[in-house]
Amino acid sequence: MQEYYSAFIMIAIGIGLALLLNNLQNLLVRKRSTERKVMPYESGMDPVGTARDRFSIKFYLIAMLFILFDIEIIFMYPWAVQYKQLGLFGFIEMFTFVIILFIGYIYVVKKGGLEWN
């Protein structure tokens, strides 16, 4: 159990410091509402409707597909950096990876996953 003392101390210091700084901020900062602070967020336009409106499931589907393809593209950067060292084997592996991505993309297009209706 002695080998865990340093970890417990570090966790306690972290929690204590977070609580201290959060409460210290609440004590030191005066809370004043100004016209600028209560303005609508981002565009400055008054919101239309409520924040509880439902979004179409297509919105979430397209967002997930974007993240999926975006993350898979990230895997190409290390391959591009090490392209010469990997040789023909690396090229074939990346070609296979791109073909699988393309098949997935074609599947999504055929299913109508990217249509915004």
Tokens encoding 25:
């901020």
- Predicted local distance difference test score (pLDDT) of residue 70: 85
Handedness of CA 68, 71, 75, 81 (dihedral sign): positive
Angle, nearest 10°, between helix axes 57-74 and 83-111?
Answer: 170
pLDDT digits (tens, 9 = 90+) for 56-101: 778 888 888 888 888 888 888 888 898 899 999 999 999 999 999 8
Q: Distance of alpha carbon 51 from its chain centroid, rounded?
A: 21
pLDDT greater than 70 at residue 42: no
Dihedral over alpha carbons 44, 47, 52, 54 (to 10 degrees): -100
Mean pLDDT calculated for residue range 106-112:
88
CA–CA distance, 100 with 72 (Å, rounded to integer): 11
Closest Cα partner for 68 from 104, 16, 112, 33? 104
- Predicted local distance difference test score (pLDDT) of residue 40: 66
Q: What is the C-alpha end-to-end distance of the chain, expressed in Å?
A: 60
Give, as one character, the DSSP assignment of residue 45: P
What pTM, to 2 d.p., does this model score? 0.49
Contact by Cβ (8 Å): 86, 79: yes
- Predicted local distance difference test score (pLDDT) of residue 41: 67
CA–CA distance, 99 with 107 (Å, rounded to integer): 12
